[in-house]
Amino acid sequence: MSETDRRVSRRRTLAALGGGALVGLAGCSGVTEQSFEATPVVLPEGPREELVLAETASESETIEREGPSGNVEVSITSHAAVYQRGPARETPTLVERFASSVNETPGSGSAINALASEVGIDEAELSFIKGGVQVAGDRFSLLIPEGVRGGDGITPQQLLGLVPGAAVGGDTVTYDGDGPGAVVSGETFFPSCCYSPSDDYFPTRTYFRGDAYSPDSPDGFRVFVPNSRTSPDRRGPLRMPDEAQPVESGETVETANTVFVFAGDVIVTAGDVIDVPAERAFDAGVPVPLAGQPFGVGVLATPNAEVAGQSANPLVEMETTELLQQDATRRVLAETGLTDGDTVEWLGGPQAVVLGEGGPPETTLLGSDTEVGSFGGVVSGVDGPWAVVLGVARVTDDDHVIAVSGVTRPISTPDRAMETFSEAAASDGSPLFALTPGVGPVFPFGPFRMFVPEVMGSLERQ
């Protein structure tokens, strides 16, 4: 998808930040007027292409307010720009294609991965294996796209089941599907190293229980897809790549180094709808690291507006948690893709959190070294709430520049997400990305901690 295709055509006017503190005083007599305008800060075209970010908003706003001495009328012009990630892979993986079909999004959208037992499923029968194989709910994972929210329930066709070969049992099994199956490489099916093992990284209990995960080497890691010509996709079957190896009914499949994928009516249920309320399913699991996962960055450049040695701009000294709750900031955050709503309504937070080991990440913003503060909270959405993790960097010289980036995941219960954030509260908390599943929604976006400084370090004055 080209940057032009991803560009949002409707440009939103950014309302004045600072709420009632920014009041126009035009018409006052005996008042000296001073004007201040910030230099716009942008993400240049080169880094935008490299980071797969497209501009989704760019606006200027001028406000007037009374200066610190009371006899100066100050005009303040600020500039904001917002960039959002589009699909980051020219050819999406099969998991990303499946998520996109359920979410009905141009990119993959969001999805979570949870143990089946964590969302109330006790077991599944792999009917495509001769004789049938029962797999306990704590031995396989479910990929649940965000698009299942807002309906009456979750249908089997909206899920992917992921079963490690060790949970299937035996060295080989006999395929007994209704149509040909297929074997594909792990990297073709799964996005990111969180699924595909490598010399330096193997999937953790985040995705598969340690005693149920079979691949012990990155060499030959593969995925078996039963009934590959009819695997569900709202726009048609999950189209297998040309290099897929067909498996006919009656042939054997080795279980070692193999993940068995099932979908649709292969999941055994009492009816057509899985007995897992969509409003509860997203309290478990972790976000899936999809290439179309929403990510964005917004940057606001506002003048310091110094009058008589004091700043006439309330944003300069405003605490970050307060700044993130201002009307215009919330609209900018919505443009970055943190929610499917038109604006960000905070249902919990934002609050400072510890993101990872070793203290806050550092970046160079417009030539100045600064820390990237981390904040977590819950915002509203069309079909359900979203938990968000934000990185915020601020520098002040002639202008005050605020760069904000964030990632998001669908959740069910805001209170449970806020419990997770409270555990990672700044100064004395456990690092957010070190928390393990079971307590509440988890955010294993370690790459976010490394990616944000790179993005912010690419910003330039126009």
Q: Which two tokens stand for residue 192?
A: 């990111």
Same-domain status, 269 and 366 = no
Q: Where are the alpha helices (DSSP H) in 211-350?
A: 278-281, 320-323, 327-335
Same-domain status, 264 and 298 = no
Question: How many residues would you count in the chain?
Answer: 462
What's the domain range around 198? 94-287
CB-CB neighbours of 233 under 10 Å: 17
Q: Which two tokens stand for residue 308?
A: 């008589």
Same-domain status, 269 and 305 = no
Instruction: Using the 3D structure, point to which of 271, 287, 303 is the last residue of a domain.
Output: 287
Same-domain status, 45 and 135 = no
Instruction: Using the 3D structure, point to which of 287, 313, 346 is the last residue of a domain.
Output: 287
Same-domain status, 99 and 78 = no
Sequence-distant (6+) residues with CB within 8 A of 4 are none
What is the rounded distance in angstroms from the CA atom of residue 256 to the CA atom of residue 253?
A: 9
Q: Which two tokens stand for residue 163?
A: 């079963």
**Residue 310: its pLDDT value, please?**
79
The percentage of residues in the chain with a pLDDT greater than 90, rounded to a whole number, is: 19
Same-domain status, 27 and 156 = no
Same-domain status, 99 and 80 = no
**Residue 450: its pLDDT value, please?**
67
pLDDT tens for 225-242 read 988 765 544 444 467 788
Query: Cα separations (Å) of 358 from 275, 362, 440, 450?
Result: 42, 11, 24, 12
Sequence-distant (6+) residues with CB within 8 A of 363 are 369, 370, 371, 372, 393, 452, 453, 454, 456, 457
pLDDT greater than 90 at residue 325? yes
Mean pLDDT of the chain: 77
Q: Where are the alpha helices (DSSP H) in 173-304?
A: 186-189, 278-281
Sequence-distant (6+) residues with CB within 8 A of 177 are 128, 226, 227, 249
Q: How confident is the model at residue 154 (pLDDT cuts 50, 70, 90)?
A: confident
Same-domain status, 108 and 254 = yes
Same-domain status, 316 and 375 = yes
Count structural domains, the chain: 2
pLDDT tens for 414-452 read 888 888 788 777 566 566 665 544 444 456 555 566 678
What is the rounded distance in angstroms from the CA atom of residue 299 to the CA atom of residue 459?
A: 9
pLDDT greater than 80 at residue 116? yes
**Residue 269: its pLDDT value, please?**
47
Helix (H) or strand (E) holding 449: helix 446-457
Same-domain status, 248 and 115 = yes
Which candidate, 388, 370, 368, places its Cα nearest to that of 378? 388
